[in-house]
Structure 1
């Protein structure tokens, strides 16, 4: 079907989602007009000028599992290997005076050993908590990361006896970072989908991709 012969599409909003839609439509031969109220494209992930200095607004960290994002960057000529700094997943919490510091880093080992070794070598969690987390992950993997009925992530963690440091410093922060929602309100099924695609996938899928350039150069400028 020749979509371009009979369609002209207006995309409202020039953030990453709007620009992604526009890029895909253009690739299909559709004429596109993007409408954006701000002076710069990029939405919440863009560069701004304050007092003569260029700063990143809404700094974002990508994951190695963001295959479609990386594909779109390549499609508009933004090379992820040059524009993103890839590092293994690491979580560090210095802790208050009344608690132990927590640190977890996934090594560059083939999956699933990177996750197993990373959990066992985590500082600030007891051996019992680490074993319970590994057993829980095996259960989730055994079901294909699917729940018979959805519930909140907090309810799932309670049911699977995920308490202590790993709940506070691993599961709950990952939920807030990925879903922008606290565990008490977040969908457990959506969170398991994230785990399936990141720590449950290939080793590189769990890597963090840190911007090595200003945010405009990652996608907004090349897409424009």
Structure 2
């Protein structure tokens, strides 16, 4: 399904969520690659990692995969420890980083129980022509190139569900490109949406629910 931006004057703000069907994930890493290309992340930073696991005992073994974006928690520990309020929960449920306020203290990285945050040391892909000239969309406003110091360096970065794409009425890049159709994206406020129905499935679970973080990324086992 295609995400739809809220209509002007609508009474309810959409509450975005993602459902990932682990039975469909084949570990191809297309989500990782498309996310990196979409968000122009520097070396060593990937918002969508896929964790590979070996299950069972030889000779009865099998591979399983766990994609891990930012969980967009409803009670995000990262926001609670930020001393300058640079991390906050947006109205649509996406956890946002204000790169103009972030001081790079990295408390949020330590607080995230999912390892979903990374520090931007300012590295780039020098061998790629014009890499540093292209805007990273998560900054929200047009910035100059990193090499001139106009784009943020020394701040924390993470998945935002491709909020810039959502605002254009598109799905996150990882959802759009998933080869196995393992990812679903939509509005939890809409009981008729695919994600709302899947979230109430007996197969549904969230990572580390005991922590009370209330993730917006829901898995199907």
Higher-Rg structure is: 1
Q: What's the TM-score bracket when you normalise by the shorter of the two chains?
A: under 0.3
**TM-score between both structures, scaled by the size of structure 2:** 0.25
Q: Taking CA–CA contacts closer than 8 Å with sequence separation of 6 or more, which of the two structures ends up with the larger relative contact order?
A: 2
Give 1 or 2: higher helix fraction.
Answer: 1
**TM-score between both structures, scaled by the size of structure 1:** 0.25
